[in-house]
Amino acid sequence: MLWAVVKGGPVMIPILIGSVLGLAIIIVKLWTLFKIRIDAEEFTDIVIEKVRAKRFDEAIALCAARAGYPIANTLKAGLDALEKRGCDAHEIEKAMERSGNREVNKLEQHIGGLISIIGIEPLLGFLGTITGLIRAFMAWERAGSNITVSQLAGGIYEAMITTAAGLIIAVPYYLVCNYIISRIKYISYELGDCSMRLAEAALEAGHKA
């Protein structure tokens, strides 16, 4: 690694900095997604059962106990609205929509930075290719007909190593980023679907009161 950094020239510095920042974002996002894993449908079913049984305090307590989970926070927002405003399905849906948007926004934090890093890394690699070739041609110009392979090697190393480094970082980061984005999209879908189910259950409970 140290050999590659030295041979890759100064462009390797921003490439490595970007790789470290990108890796940090990926680790944080994957850990966050791992921590909030929950069967949203099963959890919602339990909450809805309590709502239909008019045990609203138990439903709220159940959501509060899972405060770190987006689905629990979203459903709790709907239950809080239900307690304050009665069985107004529109108000309950709006409260859950606002809460769900906040939860999704939290999950999407720093994703833009990761996408930028993925796009910049290959460009930095290509920049290293250009600077490396410039170095090689300058060495050729200075040496003239006496040029040797060792005099060209420094610039060629820089050109090849930076290009490889940029792509080696960008390709796996791109795949992992797509996975993270797909998971966030699925969680967003779950929040919307479960919110509608709770709003319908609250409305039914109100009509039966």
pLDDT at 159: 79
pLDDT at 89: 73
Angle at CA of residue 174, ends 172 and 177, nearest 5°: 110
The SS3 assignment for 200 reads helix
- Report how far apart, in Å, the C-alpha atoms of 17 and of each of 11, 14, 124, 171 are: 10, 5, 11, 16
Angle at CA of residue 100, ends 25 and 176, nearest 5°: 25
Buried b (16+ CB within 10 A) or exposed e, 60-81: bebbeebeebbbbbbbbbbbbb
Residue 111's region, left for phi above 0, alpha for psi from -120 to 50, else beta, is alpha
How far is the C-alpha of 208 from the C-alpha of 148, rounded, in Å? 91
pLDDT at 12: 87
pLDDT at 207: 44
pLDDT at 131: 83
Per-residue pLDDT of the chain (209 residues; tens, 9 = 90+): 666 666 667 888 999 999 999 999 999 999 999 999 999 999 999 999 998 888 888 999 999 999 889 999 999 999 988 877 666 677 888 899 999 999 999 999 999 999 999 999 999 999 988 888 877 777 766 766 666 666 666 677 777 888 899 999 999 999 999 999 999 999 999 999 999 999 888 877 664 54
- Tell me the helices (H) and strands (E) count for the chain, helix number first: 8, 0
pLDDT at 171: 96
How far is the C-alpha of 65 from the C-alpha of 155, rounded, in Å? 60
How far is the C-alpha of 203 from the C-alpha of 209, rounded, in Å? 10
